């Protein structure tokens, strides 16, 4: 029997991921880090993320990766399936970090006040 673990998904050089990881360390929250660049996007996790937060929130339309996509590719992202395909092909388009909390909750982005409710000091 294993203990539930918090998992942080993202890219290590992303400023928001750096802030999130520092916050978790400061709070004493044990976590695993999944590097999209080295380990890819876990296809089996995407449906759960989409169900938990919605594909619209997962696709970072303000990020550089999105802005560099051609208009046709951007326009083709119109539902969960098309968003999942893009996230698999272009991991940097995912808003970061995606966190699967030991409690079972999933969050996207960094929000210290919300995180305190989910996995803050134990």
Instruction: Tell me whether residue 14 is one of the annotated catalytic residues.
Output: yes
Catalytic residue among 1, 3, 14, 53: 14
Q: Say how many C-beta atoms besides its own lie within 10 A of residue 9's C-beta.
A: 24
* Residues 20 and 97 sit within 8 Å (Cβ to Cβ): yes
User: Within a 10 A sphere around the Cβ of 30, how many other Cβ atoms?
Assistant: 12
Question: Residue 50 has which token pair?
Answer: 């989409």
Phi–psi pair at 28, nearest 5 degrees: 75, 25
CA-wise closest residue to 94 among 104, 112, 106, 105: 106
DSSP summary character for residue 94: B
Report the catalytic residues.
14
């Amino acid at each position: 029997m294993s203990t539930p673990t918090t998992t942080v998904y993202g890219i290590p050089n992303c400023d928001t991921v750096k802030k999130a990881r520092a916050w978790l360390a400061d709070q004493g929250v044990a976590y695993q880090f999944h590097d999209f660049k080295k380990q890819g996007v876990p296809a089996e996790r995407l449906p759960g993320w989409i169900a938990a937060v919605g594909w619209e929130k997962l696709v970072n339309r303000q990020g550089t990766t999105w802005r560099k996509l051609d208009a046709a590719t951007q326009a083709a992202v119109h539902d969960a399936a098309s968003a999942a395909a893009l996230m698999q092909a272009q991991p940097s388009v995912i808003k970061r970090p995606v966190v699967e909390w030991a409690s079972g909750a999933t969050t996207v982005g960094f929000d210290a006040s919300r995180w305190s409710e989910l996995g803050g000091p134990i």
